[in-house]
Structure 1
Amino acid sequence: MTPDDSDTDDVTAPPDSAAADSSRSDEDLDRRRLIRWIAVLAFAVPVIVELLTFGGLIENTLFPGGDGDTGGTATDGTETATATPGEDAVGVGDELLPDEPTVETVEVSEVRGESASSRTYVLRVAVENTTENSVELRLTGVTLRDGASLESVSTTGAIPAGGAGEVTGAWGLPTDSMPVAVDVVLLRDGDESTSRSVPLKRPPIRG
């Protein structure tokens, strides 16, 4: 055997075979990575959906009505505001319009009646006029839990500077309904200065 014959017997793998093996290995690696990502997404998507749903439930529970209208201005330029639930709600002992210079204290806020079909909501407010102008407080209606409104106007009449007065409003309630807000108007020297829907704390029921 010549040296040249010995060299020809030492056969190596063709370059094309090595490249094919490398390509196949890369494909297997990419396939494993794809399967891994699919598994991660299959687990993560339901978890994210559950978290978003749970977060929405918490938001609706803690902040009901967060997208609602909370105020505005009447066409005649007087200040207006709509009822907002929560800390702004008033009950017995609270001031009806705390941002006004006059003092309007709720003395009575209760539902009277022996049955759900014959009840009346009664609201009495005492007013101290600490301003230098005459004032008048009017209770013009109430809003019920279902959004319906009951209109009936009661007034203190004109209260002179340094004087005091009171107003009592009464509204017959439909069956199983409760008031959630009262509409009030404050006048100064006969001119309307404030018109507002004030949220109410849940009134007690007196049989």
Structure 2
Amino acid sequence: MKSTLILTILTAGLMLNTGCEKQEDKSVMTSPAESSNKLSGAKTEIQKTAQAVVEDAKETVSSYTAKAEDVAKETVQSYTVKAEEILSEITEPVTAVKEKVATYSQPELMARVEQYKQSILEKKEQLSGLTSQLKDLSMMELLSEKGAALKEQASRYTEQLSALKERYGIYIDKLKTLGVNLPDLPL
């Protein structure tokens, strides 16, 4: 695109130069004001041409960018990752998860990261609900079986959330090593 712009400017300059040579050959003398007007007009034409080339290049880049984003979305959507798969990974050792992550393609990693993100948000919501239930309990209810059960469940959710975040970080790190721009993925 830059080469097209440069070529256009050089061609316009050559045409202007050729026009000046022809006038010199005919021995037609022009006043400095006329020369200045012609030069100004030529400069304006070159600027218009350059601006048109730049606008065309912007449109082309935008078009290709939009197409690439569509293809990327379709590719990621072609991988279906269920929440159960993600939740089953929290019981696996971190080293095993790292080994699996190393074998995934970029679209599969992106699909899994999206599902991790959803699972983390759901787990946060569940934990928030349990926390508000615990806050609503009286001191006697906190010491009862109901309070103990809610505390135990909140503890499990906290552990699960921590494990999800840790494994999510593994996926994010792998995507970063692949050079993927992650503006909206981290939580």
Q: Does the TM-score normalized on the shorter chain lie above 0.5?
A: no
Task: Name whichever structure is richer in strand by fraction.
Answer: 1
Q: Report which of the two has the higher share of helix.
A: 2
TM-score (normalizing by structure 1):
0.27
Relative CO higher for 1 or 2, CA cutoff 8 Å, sep ≥ 6?
2
